[in-house]
Structure 1
Amino acid sequence: MSSDLSSDNNGHLILGGVDSVELAHKYGTPLVVYDVGEIRDQIKRFKSNFDLSGLKYQISYASKAFATVAMYQVLKQEDVHTDVVSGGELYTALKARFPADKISFHGNNKSLQELEMAVDNHIGVVIIDNFLEIKLLKQLLEEKSANIDVMLRLTPGISAHTHKYDQTGQVDSKFGFDVESDQATKALEQVLEIPQMNLIGIHAHIGSQIFGVEGFEMLAKKMVDISAQWKKQFDFVPKILNLGGGFGISYTDEDEPIGPDVFIDKIISTIKENVKKQSLPLPEVWIEPGRSIVGPAGYNLYTVGSRKDIPDMLSYVNVDGGMGDNIRPALYQAKYEAVVANKMNQNIEEEDHIAGKYCESGDILIDRQALPKTEPGDIIAMLDTGAYGYSMASNYNRNPRPAVVFVENGKDKLVVKRESYEDLVRLDESYI
């Protein structure tokens, strides 16, 4: 949960130097707001910790957390890499004029068309996920007389202690080449035989919303061990070890995340120790933070509408958004906290359910939230919603998706327009 919330003399929540209540009135609700200064500060924290290590490194922002033209423009200003997982994310990054050579392309089922877009735009690296992809990419590169840097995504047999939907490094996963069954070695052999592919590194990702360093230590050691094995068998040493992302953030007071400095120190010290043991050169280290960069910087603003009071039970405070703009609570019981943005200086008087407007009993944004007395027209600010909220938004119940506003240094800028009802039917075709 954001611990440094600020308010003005009127008791209004201030975001990036801007009155959140004024934002709600100016742009309407539901509204997604990002404090860009928080995004920049977190990127700088990751960079500063790596700068002390003496290793070459790259911070590669995981686009799936939140991807818009404006977001890629901020990333370009901060001089980081980004990874994309679809043709749509790649197209958006290119539309924002994000440097193509700083883009890596993930995905467990990339289409021929998506791979062609990557090759034609000379992106930095394709992270190969399966044997069909090797075949498709080889075909494209031969047809176009092109070359491209690649990495191999491995499933190392290490699972993080997170929700089952967030675990991606264990053996039983849809992602990557399995190490245990020698799929990874077979993929290596195939790629090394293709002159148009320049294999620069290996990648693994063990999960999301991770609070412990043990999994990353195990992964770092395993990646070095694989490098040593491949040097012995094939005289090949990956230049880059990409350890993915998954660094946890605090959504509620129950969460106890570890700072990026601890994660990075453990990753670097483990790599240094083990490459020395294996007589290997120091690799370049990549990480792929997404949630930890944008999650704490995001806020969802809602307007309170109706209320349902039930004797001896928590009341339902209903707002004008819900699972269409943040499906995480309904999808995997994600927990958040909220404040009343126009009553920051008022005392807590009750505990309520904060419920969405969607026609689903499971559309509960927060199951139990301490609040001051609320009334219709109050502005609820849901905290730490910057990751996987807007990016997973839908038009369920034919509700338009919300607008997105960036705030920084006391200024606000609309970066995604609110969808209209006309937008909802724009692609529909008549049957009669």
Structure 2
Amino acid sequence: MSSSFQNNFQRELEAGLRELEARNQRRALVDIRGVNLCSNDYLELSRHPALKEAVARAVRDSQHVGGTGSRLLSGHAAVWEQLEGEFSEFAGTEAALYFGSGYAANLGLLTALLKKEDLVFSDALNHASLIDGIRLSGARKIIYPHLDLNALEVALRNHAQERCRKLIVTETVFSMEGDVAPVTQIIELAERYGAGVIVDEAHATGVQGPAGRGIAVRYEIAQHLAAAVHTCGKALASAGAFVCGSAALKEHLINHARTFIFSTAMPPYMAEQIRAALGLARTMDREREKLLGSARRFASNLRSRGWDTGRSNTQVLSTQIGPTQIVPLVLGENEQALSAAEYLQSDGFAVRAVRPPTVPHGGARLRFSLTSGIPDDELVRLENTLNSWRENICWSAAVARA
């Protein structure tokens, strides 16, 4: 690499970072300290003694602790096939295929299914992995306003005569909004207009539905889906994700999903970790009830004090299906979100400001991601600290600007 290129390269990188800094959009890696309100470890299984013991036992008993190669080469093991069978039963589908991450699962699924002539109807607030999968597929796309079924139906009706594969793609529990897609109505629209449906259950797996089996099982639509993606790195305290659907879909992905074909397999002990986490999660109805009850009360208390929590834990337009563990606090400007996060951190709360492009412009927020072990009195203390920030910092800054 020439010295002139290297110098210019470094200057361009540094200029880009300064630009992010000026827009209050630069991110950094930080250690977690205090009451953790930004974790996706919803059932706190990552600290469960039984899961730790299962992992230790699996590592001890494994012939090797590396992936060794892709599953199409040397990385396949019987334990993965067994786990995929167990997970498909959990998800209410015929089959399942494991990917190394939720991101890889969504990219692999969408790029393997879609062609340029196909048409995707995608919720405006879908996760980046869904957005990127649709983009990389080259398929045509229509972005419908978040949870707007009227707009979705108009789009489906306008393209009803086109002879192509049509897919509606949505999260079930939205990661930044904490609201829930009206999945039964989406299925009805899909069947009326000849479309398929793909759902991402990342933030529902382990938390929503009977035994934590997700929104699709709860509303008995799993068999009506083209595919469902369930991740293991959140409530299941492991890693990776399963694409769940028909046996034919699984075989298609084995042969066409590039993120599966060209990725090194996860080590076999990870399969045992997921299996143990799945077994524990099925039994944790009490923890789920406590978690969702706390989230409902917390969101209600914030709204009663004049905070904007969006549609999380509400019944707006019948689009919310019960409580979720994600409560956003929408503040609008990046500066406000950063200020509030810093104030909360100083009082012992681990919370992060979420800013564009992760959320829409003007939608900077704090995302409170609750877990089952957070005491209710800490949430009350959090509410009081937020009000203190508003009274002592936010309003003072507003007066100073005026």
TM-score of the pair, normalised by structure 2:
0.31
Structure with the largest fraction of strand: 1
Structure with the largest fraction of helix: 2
